[in-house]
Structure 1
Amino acid sequence: METPLNPLRGYALLSATAVGWALNWPLIKVILRDWPPLFARGLAGLVAALLLAGVARAAGEDLRVPVRALPRLCFAAYTNVFAWMGFATLAMTWLRAGETVLLVYSMPLWATLFAWPILGVRPTRTALTALGLGLAGLVLLVAGPGFSAGPGTGFGILFALASAASFALGTVLNRTAPPLRPLAAVAWQVGLGSAPMLALGLAFEAPHPGALAPAGWAAFAYMVLVPMSACYVTWFATLRALPAPTAATGMLLVPVLGTLSAALALGEPLGWRELAAMGLTLGGVAIALRRA
């Protein structure tokens, strides 16, 4: 039986996980300067899946998947990786990193909506308040004069919201986890979700691997080693030390730090509109998470 970690160490692990995932958002924009989105994310995911599988084996986890669990595992790979990561990366082709991360991290709001028709969970006044706050923040973000303007902006918004909605739908429908240990399950999900991304990228994006600049290679290495590998290890350690609602609410640091780091590293605008949208959206998400 595993010995629970102490809460202080849990908060340290939670902070490390949030920072590791947050810094990935502006770095994806660096990679997208030279590589197309599906190819970049799919290749990084496959490499990360191999690393996670190695860590899982070293930890004594069994990587074999029962046949009966394959449909559930494939669906989780679609919602949690292919749609969540793939659509979000496509969105960043047209949107700024800070805008994308705020739109994508609205997924608890959509989970509240999906839970009503699918699970019969009627939204309470608290849930409706959370939904109203979150949607007001999203409207303020996308309707303001400082939002990304371009011929593909609408596609960017749609892909970002599709990413959030897909993850939320997976959260509602994947009520039972695959019968695998945590790292083994993530390794399979990342691998199964990334393989079709890479295949589509090779088929339709015509990537040039040698086009990636040194800064892009550094960002790619970070994406593989930290957010797609090490952060999953620290995340599961966090869940052993802290209650799940506390850990989930702590993940709201990701869009906050992602937006701030994008402003510092990429020079993206960060004015009253962005801050107000962040406060409204994440306030609603925080209420939804605490209620869940």
Structure 2
Amino acid sequence: MDRARLWGVAFLLITAIGWALNWPTIKFLLQVWPAFFARGVAGVGAALLLGLLALSRGESLHVPRSIWPQLGLTAFTSVFAWMGFATVSLNLISVAEAALLVYSMPIWAMLLAWPLRGERPGLRALVALALAIAGVVLLLSGQHSLAGRDQMLGVGLALAAAVLFAWGTVANPKPLPLAPLAQTAWVVGVGCAPMIVLGLVFEHPQLDALTGVAAASLAYMTLVPMGLCYLTWFGALRRLPTGIATITMLLVPLLGTLSAAAILGDPFGLREGGALALTLTGVALALKGLSAPAKSRTPGAHPTEPE
């Protein structure tokens, strides 16, 4: 393996670990700040840092008027819905349940490509769907998962995040004509700013409650998953095939679940392990199908790759 590919693999591992650790990290922040406000502050802070970095590298932050509708759709589906709904779901369900449900988005993309783009799902898509459904059913088969309305709301929010992200990718397949860092800064900023507004109006956060571990969690969310990891993700994409990079990102829900078990004490046994194996195998099949040249770009290759 040449040096460029070695660096690409190293960047992928940094990205996967940084995004995976964000799942249990969010749980600490949610102990003192409500979900939308917490995610919005971290996202807007990261967007400002990415914008400054883009300017330092000579990237223009100018957005032509003609692409604002596309930018808005991308920000809504891949940031506001994805990050916002997924974060709220963590108040109601475990990290393992949320991560696995949210990372099912490539399967929904394959299914949505049929009515939206006339791409009929083949055998690969049906097998992927069957594996993913089996994994989700196994994961939610524990009594605690179906204990009440709150848990089912959490499941619904996580699935909504995955479906909306997939819909945005299929309905809007053309990349924004912006430089990578500038694009990410705008999409993350536009998607997260409304979360702060909604948080202030409806959640009424206690700003002085942010101390200790929660403050460290906010700093980590801002600097690592939404800052450093985007840089390493772009670095990996420049050195490795997109399909390989995207499938490797299936490490994120796996490592996120394992880290939540170690850090938060979340349960991880045969049921959780079997659910991960089934669902991630299905997602891998979906990603392999979506990476074919005739298809649009892979959902996981989106510059606002979810963490």
Structure 1 length-normalised TM:
0.97
CA distance in 1, matches of 2:209, 2:149: 25
Aligned twin of 2:124: 126
CA distance in 1, matches of 2:187, 2:147: 34
Match of 1:136 among 126, 134, 151: 134
Q: Is 1:76 aligned with 2:68?
A: no
Aligned twin of 2:84: 86
Runs of 4+ in structure 1 over 4 Å off: none
Kept after mapping to 1: 8 A contact 2:83/2:161: yes
CA distance in 2, matches of 1:278, 1:96: 14
Ranges in structure 1 where 5+ consecutive residues have no aligned partner: none
- Three-state SS of the structure 2 residue aligned to 1:94 is coil
Q: How does 1:1-292 map to 2 (within 5 A)?
A: 6-147=4-145, 149-292=147-290
Q: How much has 1:60 moved relative to structure 2?
A: 1.0
Q: How much has 1:150 moved relative to structure 2?
A: 4.2
Kept after mapping to 2: 8 A contact 1:94/1:150: no
Q: How much has 1:197 moved relative to structure 2?
A: 0.6
Deviations 1:116-140 (A, max 9, x none): 1001111110111111101110111
CA distance in 2, matches of 1:57, 1:197: 25
Kept after mapping to 2: 8 A contact 1:136/1:281: yes
- Three-state SS of the structure 2 residue aligned to 1:23 is helix
Aligned twin of 2:295: none
Ranges in structure 2 where 5+ consecutive residues have no aligned partner: 291-307
CA distance in 1, matches of 2:251, 2:44: 27
Kept after mapping to 1: 8 A contact 2:146/2:152: no
Q: Which amino acid in 2 is paired with 1:139?
A: V
Kept after mapping to 1: 8 A contact 2:92/2:150: yes
Worse-matched range after superposition: 174-183 or 218-227: 174-183
CA distance in 2, matches of 1:8, 1:127: 32
Q: Which amino acid in 2 is paired with 1:281?
A: T
Deviations 1:171-198 (A, max 9, x none): 1112111110111011000000001111
- Three-state SS of the structure 2 residue aligned to 1:152 is helix
Q: Which amino acid in 1 is paired with 2:184?
A: V
* Aligned residues with identical type, % of pairs: 54
Q: How much has 1:291 moved relative to structure 2?
A: 1.6
Kept after mapping to 2: 8 A contact 1:26/1:266: yes
Structure 2 length-normalised TM:
0.92
Q: Which amino acid in 2 is paired with 1:175?
A: P
CA distance in 2, matches of 1:179, 1:79: 18
Q: How much has 1:5 moved relative to structure 2?
A: 7.3
